Amino acid sequence: MAACQAVEIIAQLRIRLADVYVIMTRAATRFISPLSLETVSLHPRRDRHIC
């Protein structure tokens, strides 16, 4: 559910002309496709590797 909301929040921010950059942990990529967030944010995602 939260993953779907993330896409919607980014889309709403983009409508308001916000410049959104997505940073995802490896675990986050198991819940939502990085491509989905890249597409809606208009920027490539950035990885954050946490030990």
pLDDT of 1-51, one tens digit each? 778 899 999 999 999 999 999 988 888 889 899 999 999 999 988 776 554
Q: For the chain, give me the number of helices (H) and strands (E)?
A: 2, 2
Torsion of CA 4, 12, 36, 18, to 10 degrees: -140
Q: What is the Cα–Cα distance from 8 to 47, expressed in whole angstroms?
A: 21
CB contact set of 15 (below 8 Å; sequence gap of 6+): none
DSSP secondary-structure letter at 50? -
- The pTM assigned to this predicted structure is 0.77
In this structure, the number of other CB atoms found within 10 A of the CB of residue 40 comes to 19
